[in-house]
């Protein structure tokens, strides 16, 4: 639950010498199966860590700690049996409210698990609770007008990203090894970048999503997890594929090591809309390009593969989603829904949509057409290397939703200048923590590939992780 954080410290984490240690999920599975630790011990350790971290980070929206400990003592099926996790608070978990980061209504406990929570249960994961997000996931920073922000464990005065911020900080800070996240414009990759995590937005349809996301005019929202290691992400995709597989996509299978094929990599450092990119971010991306070349890949600078209209089209569609929520709130969210309680960003997006509804058919048509453009681009390239975000992580307050809409949206578009394209095309994309800013904060680098080639991204991610191990929050 939300608590006012204590006096900010530069860096916090919960790693300690308990049943979890500093293991990732794959190692925890091995230790549980070997009998070195029990499922109950692991879940109890995760509960204690989550409580401690939440005091500083304000990451938990709702908890079911007692039930999780009881469940951990019962027999479990699934590869991840006994591994603790959290579900983002825009997906239903039976018995917990789905508040979606908003004060506009009071959510009732869900009667049943949503599709995402059912998949997590099938894989054996034990759900400890739900994580906070920005209001409906519209902002890329989990800040609020009347509640404390979700804080970044690498530095409590900086943004934790969004919208899957609560999930990211609990994984980065060591409460759980992986947590559910979803991505409608970068909301897996953005918090991965600013919290030093691996964040894969898989190919559209690869990972099951809740019904509301499947029924969008353009299916921009993709579900997945945030992790601290490439092998945890690969294991999750493998196990999710065993539980559900989209037969229109080539299988990913069990990815456990780098691939052998040398690839044609397009280096894209120009952002959507031609917005400025920080020198520090560019330096990390170019260092990654040089590393890929040393590993034998062919890297070639390439213009951004999107039309000039893309930013406005995507923003119009994003605004349309806000309008749909605000106009259908009483019917969809409850009779106490009050749109006047939304923050300035949600209200501003809805107002934008009202004045531009005439553009919506054109925007949707062009966003759908981006899939064809992507197929043509990847006929000559195997991967795209780019920044995840255009600038280093901002301090809290820069994207505060109590500011005028025009201020916040301009800053958001400037910062989130690379991630939305793959939400429109449905292509896979992964953020990896391959650098550190001058202030000691993680810098994410993004790799994107053609539809269905998630395996290729994971193989290259393994290769980069081996060549340049990721920074660890518990090491100064």
Q: What is the CA radius of gyration of the chain?
A: 21
Exactly one of 91, 102, 159, 187 is catalytic; which is it? Answer: 187
Burial (CB count within 10 angstroms: exposed 0-12, middle 13-18, buried 19+), residue 447: buried
Exactly one of 50, 88, 139, 429 is catalytic; which is it? Answer: 88
List all residues 6 or more positions away from 260 whose beta carbon is below 8 Å from its beta carbon. none
Q: Is 163 a catalytic residue?
A: yes
Q: Is 209 a catalytic residue?
A: no
- Residues facing residue 300 across a β-bridge: 266
Q: Is 187 a catalytic residue?
A: yes
Cα atoms in the Cβ-side hemisphere of radius 13 Å centred on 173:
35
All domains in the chain, ordered by first residue = 25-467 (3.90.1300.10)
pLDDT beneath 50, residues of the chain? 1-8
Exactly one of 50, 159, 163, 229 is catalytic; which is it? Answer: 163
> Do 160 and 394 form a contact (C-beta atoms < 8 A)?
no
* pLDDT reported for residue 9: 61
The contacts found for 334-341 with CB under 8 angstroms, 24 or more apart, are 334/105, 334/106, 334/107, 334/108, 336/105, 336/106, 337/104, 337/105, 338/104, 338/105, 339/104, 341/102, 341/103, 341/104
Q: List for the chain the helix, strand, coil content (%; round to 5).
A: 40, 15, 45
- Residues facing residue 63 across a β-bridge: 129
Average pLDDT, the chain: 95
* pLDDT reported for residue 434: 98
d(CA 416, CA 271): 9
d(CA 125, CA 31): 15
List all residues 6 or more positions away from 167 whose beta carbon is below 8 Å from its beta carbon. 59, 86, 88, 131, 179, 180, 181, 191, 226
List all residues 6 or more positions away from 418 whose beta carbon is below 8 Å from its beta carbon. 186, 268, 271, 272, 386, 387, 388, 389, 390, 446
Longest CA–CA separation in the chain, Å: 62
**pTM of the predicted model, to two decimals?**
0.96
Question: Residues in the chain, how many?
Answer: 476
Joined together, the tokens standing for residue 57 give 């980070």
d(CA 72, CA 292): 43
pLDDT in tens, 271-320: 988 888 999 999 999 999 999 999 999 999 999 889 989 999 999 999 99
The Cα-based distances of 341 to 97, 117, 145, 272, 420 in angstroms read 18, 29, 10, 32, 27
Phi, psi (rounded to 5 degrees) for 289: -60, -45
* pLDDT reported for residue 329: 87
> Do 386 and 431 form a contact (C-beta atoms < 8 A)?
no
Per-position DSSP letters for 240-255, written without gaps between them? HHHH---TTS------
């Amino acid at each position: 639950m939300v608590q006012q954080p204590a006096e900010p410290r530069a860096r916090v984490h919960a790693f300690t010498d308990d049943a979890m240690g500093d293991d990732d999920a794959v190692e925890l599975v091995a230790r549980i199966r070997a009998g070195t630790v029990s499922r109950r011990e692991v879940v109890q350790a995760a509960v204690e860590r989550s409580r401690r971290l939440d005091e500083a980070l304000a990451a938990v929206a709702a908890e079911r700690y007692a039930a999780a400990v009881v469940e951990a003592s019962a027999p479990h099926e699934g590869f991840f049996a006994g591994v603790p996790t959290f579900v983002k608070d825009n997906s239903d978990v039976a018995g917990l409210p789905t508040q979606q980061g908003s004060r506009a209504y009071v959510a009732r406990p869900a009667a049943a698990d949503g599709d995402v929570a059912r998949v997590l249960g099938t894989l054996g994961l034990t759900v400890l609770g739900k994580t906070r997000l920005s209001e409906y996931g519209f902002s890329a920073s989990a800040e609020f007008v009347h509640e404390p922000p979700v804080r970044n464990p690498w530095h409590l005065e900086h943004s934790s990203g969004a919208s899957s911020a609560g999930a990211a900080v609990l994984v980065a800070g060591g409460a759980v090894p992986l947590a559910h996240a979803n991505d409608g414009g970068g909301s897996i990759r953005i918090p991965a970048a600013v919290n030093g995590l691996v964040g894969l937005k898989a190919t559209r349809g690869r990972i099951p999503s809740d019904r509301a996301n499947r029924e969008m005019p353009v299916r921009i929202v993709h579900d997945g997890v945030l992790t601290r290691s490439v092998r945890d992400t690969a294991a999750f995709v493998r196990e999710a594929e065993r539980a559900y597989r989209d037969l229109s996509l080539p299988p990913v299978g069990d990815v456990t090591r780098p691939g052998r094929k040398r690839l044609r990599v397009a280096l894209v450092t120009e952002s959507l809309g031609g917005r400025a990119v920080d020198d520090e971010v560019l330096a990390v991306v170019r260092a990654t390009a040089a590393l890929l070349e040393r590993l034998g890949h062919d890297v070639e600078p390439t213009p951004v593969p999107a039309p000039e209209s893309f930013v406005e089209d995507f923003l119009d569609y994003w605004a349309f989603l806000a309008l749909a929520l605000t106009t259908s709130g009483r019917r969809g969210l409850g009779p106490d829904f009050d749109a006047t309680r939304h923050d300035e960003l949600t209200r501003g997006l809805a107002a934008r949509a009202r004045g531009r509804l005439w553009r919506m058919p054109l925007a949707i048509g062009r966003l759908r057409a981006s899939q064809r453009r992507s197929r043509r681009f990847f006929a000559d390239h195997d991967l795209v290397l780019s920044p995840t975000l255009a600038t280093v992580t901002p301090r809290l307050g820069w994207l505060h939703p109590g500011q005028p809409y025009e201020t916040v949206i301009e800053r958001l578009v400037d910062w989130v200048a690379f991630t939305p394209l793959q939400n429109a095309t449905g292509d896979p994309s992964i953020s990896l923590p391959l650098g550190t800013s001058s202030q000691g904060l993680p810098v994410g680098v993004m790799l994107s590939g053609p539809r269905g080639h998630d395996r290729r991204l994971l193989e290259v991610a393994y290769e980069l992780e081996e060549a340049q191990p990721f920074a660890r929050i518990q090491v100064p």
